[in-house]
């Protein structure tokens, strides 16, 4: 168990909205520092909705202790998350029609796209320089299927991000279909993408199976989305966030993951685990229970994490 204790960091998606970590009434400017007393890594989810200023990112870096790490979600326009087109694409998934290519992916010219990626990375330059950036997480939408054009889009994104550490997460089943699974993993390894391994419901084309296979020797991301299959495909309903990630992992499920993490560490140096099942307030409790199973104290930074990147 010692290897997992030292090489796995556990945290949550976002540092606000977790009542047992940052109680109601906690000033916004105090939440991250308080969160960092409990967990050694966090996913920056707000970057999906807007690119922060470098000054904001610098404050995040200054408010966290040495050894703390950030997994930063790529801005939605960088991964083709156009909401109107997305709702139509999800509707096609639910009716069994072939999904469209990533919405909005071809709407920008090359100069505009390069400028967008450059602005995003410039915003996080203070975090890169501090050594606290674990990875930029490129999570593609559920209509981003396994096609030649989308493979080209992945190569373009990787090129535009230069040598930054990147993690890749799919939401369309076709990438891990029986005839494509090995090819997808080989592509990710060859191109230098870290695998963002998903624990999520099995709910048709817009979900991916559990594929606990690292593709990068230095780091792997694991994200727990819950297993609420009945509400995974929300069809654009207004309360999608409240129901999609509503799930409480039991001890048997978490103990199974301890073994999975141990096996994954045979081919990757470090793993960052992010609990995203926060709509019902379960993520923090699940994270703490997994940490206890790994023999970790709250907020304990895995020593190996500090030397990467």
Q: What are 29-71's pLDDT values in tens digits?
A: 999 999 999 999 999 999 999 999 999 999 999 999 999 999 9
Residue 309 has pLDDT above 60, yes or no: no
**Within 10 A of 179 (CB to CB), how many other CB atoms are there?**
8
CB 136 within 8 A of CB 74: yes
CB 81 within 8 A of CB 101: no
What value does the mean pLDDT take over residues 136-140?
97
Residue 220 has pLDDT above 70, yes or no: yes
Residue 107 has pLDDT above 50, yes or no: yes
In the prediction, which pLDDT does 86 show? Answer: 40
Question: Model-level pTM?
Answer: 0.86
The single residue listed with the structure tokens 């593609």 is 140
Q: What are 165-198's pLDDT values in tens digits?
A: 999 999 999 999 999 999 999 999 999 999 999 9
Per this entry, what is the length of the chain?
309
From 250, 237, 252, select the one nearest 277 (Cα to Cα): 250
Q: How far apart are CA 43 and CA 272, in angstroms?
A: 10
From 127, 201, 139, 190, select the one nearest 164 (Cα to Cα): 127
Mean pLDDT for all residues in the chain: 86
Residue 90 has pLDDT above 50, yes or no: no
In the prediction, which pLDDT does 24 show? Answer: 85
Q: 165: helix, coil or strand?
A: coil
pLDDT grade, residue 103 (50/70/90)?
very low
In the prediction, which pLDDT does 94 show? Answer: 46
Q: Residues 6 or more apart from 289 whose CB is under 8 A from it?
A: 249, 251, 254
| DSSP bridge pairs for 42 | 12, 70
């Amino acid at each position: 168990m010692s290897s997992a204790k030292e090489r796995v960091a556990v945290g949550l998606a976002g540092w606000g909205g977790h009542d047992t970590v940052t109680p109601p009434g906690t000033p916004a400017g105090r939440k991250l520092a308080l969160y960092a007393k409990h967990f050694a890594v966090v996913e920056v989810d707000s970057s999906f909705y807007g690119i922060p200023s470098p000054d904001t990112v610098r404050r995040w870096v200054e408010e966290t202790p040495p050894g703390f790490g950030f997994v930063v979600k790529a801005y939605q326009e960088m991964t083709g998350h156009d909401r109107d087109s997305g709702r139509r694409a999800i509707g096609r998934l639910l009716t069994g029609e072939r999904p469209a290519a990533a919405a909005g992916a071809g709407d920008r010219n090359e100069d505009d796209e390069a400028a967008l990626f450059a602005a995003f990375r410039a915003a996080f330059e203070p975090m890169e320089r501090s050594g606290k950036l674990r990875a930029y997480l490129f999570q593609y939408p559920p209509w981003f299927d396994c096609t030649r054009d989308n493979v080209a889009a992945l190569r373009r994104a990787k090129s535009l991000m230069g040598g930054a550490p990147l993690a890749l997460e799919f939401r369309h089943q076709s990438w891990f279909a029986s005839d494509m699974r090995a090819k997808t993993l080989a592509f990710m390894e060859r191109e230098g993408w870290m695998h963002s391994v998903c624990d999520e419901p099995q709910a048709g084309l817009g979900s991916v199976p559990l594929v606990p296979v690292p593709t990068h020797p230095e780091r792997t991301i694991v994200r727990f989305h819950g297993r609420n299959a009945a509400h995974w495909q929300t069809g654009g309903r207004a309360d999608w966030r409240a129901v999609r990630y509503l799930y409480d992992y039991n001890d048997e499920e978490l103990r199974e993951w301890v073994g999975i993490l141990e096996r994954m560490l045979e081919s990757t140096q470090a793993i960052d685990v992010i609990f995203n099942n926060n709509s019902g307030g379960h993520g923090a409790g699940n994270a703490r229970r997994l940490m206890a199973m790994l023999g970790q104290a709250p907020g304990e930074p895995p020593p190996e994490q500090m030397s990467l990147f």
